[in-house]
Amino acid sequence: MKIKKAANLVAVSMVLVLAACASQQAKQAPTSEATPSPAQQQGAQTQGVTGQPVGENPLNNPNNILYKKSVYYAFDKYNIEPKYMPIVEAHAQYLKSHPQATVRLEGNCDERGSREYNLALGQRRADAVAKAMELLGVPSSQITTVSWGSEKPKALGHNEEAWAQNRRTDIVYTHE
């Protein structure tokens, strides 16, 4: 009798272990006969030139450098600081690999300075980014420049923190 109970316990235990293993396998990746979900199909897409899945726009991916679309400047300057060159280079590479894409480079200034001075400085800032992109191989036909002077501030404060955000060139894609 004791042997029968022990054998039954072993049998029940084995059934439970096998059932647990079977349910674990069901939770794993689907078999080749199953139809993949849309998310699995998207993940299975081939990678594009930028390392993103085909169909995903790297310009809208916060984890991609192309998501950064502003170059900032020191007070009264228009030279591109070395820390912003990777942004310019990434956008230049994108433009070269997407000949249909075009950008408008928008030069901006903080509120200090006359209207005329700020418009001229904003234009020099936009032109500096355009020149860098052209030197990196982007055709000038893909680039336009405009200066907004201090007319389109990113920050509305009247202090150095706000002014630093307003001294910039924005890279605006007009056709992707």
Domains identified in the chain, total number: 1
The predicted structure's pLDDT at residue 34: 43
The rounded mean pLDDT for the chain is: 80
What's the rounded mean pLDDT across residues 42-49? 40
Percent of the chain with pLDDT over 70: 69
Does residue 125 belong to any structural domain of this protein?
Answer: yes
- pLDDT tens-place string over residues 76-100: 999 999 999 999 999 999 999 999 9
Q: Which helix (H) or strand (E) holds 149?
A: strand 143-149
CATH number of the domain at 120, please.
Answer: 3.30.1330.60
What's the rounded mean pLDDT across residues 59-69? 96
- pLDDT tens-place string over residues 113-130: 999 999 999 999 999 999
For every residue of 16-33, DSSP letters joined together read: HHHHHHHHHHHHSSPPTT
Q: Residue 54 — very low, low, confident or very high, per pLDDT cuts 50/70/90? A: low
Does residue 136 belong to any structural domain of this protein?
Answer: yes
The predicted structure's pLDDT at residue 145: 98
The predicted structure's pLDDT at residue 56: 84
The predicted structure's pLDDT at residue 113: 94
Distance CA 134, CA 116 (A): 27
Does residue 14 belong to any structural domain of this protein?
Answer: no
- pLDDT tens-place string over residues 154-171: 999 999 999 999 999 999
Whole-model pTM: value is 0.69
What's the rounded mean pLDDT across residues 8-12? 43
pLDDT at 38 over 60: no
Domain limits for position 106: 57-175
Does residue 32 belong to any structural domain of this protein?
Answer: no
Does residue 21 belong to any structural domain of this protein?
Answer: no
* Alpha-helical regions (H) of the chain: 2-27, 38-43, 85-97, 115-135, 160-166
Does residue 146 belong to any structural domain of this protein?
Answer: yes
Phi, psi of 155 (to 5 degrees): -120, 140
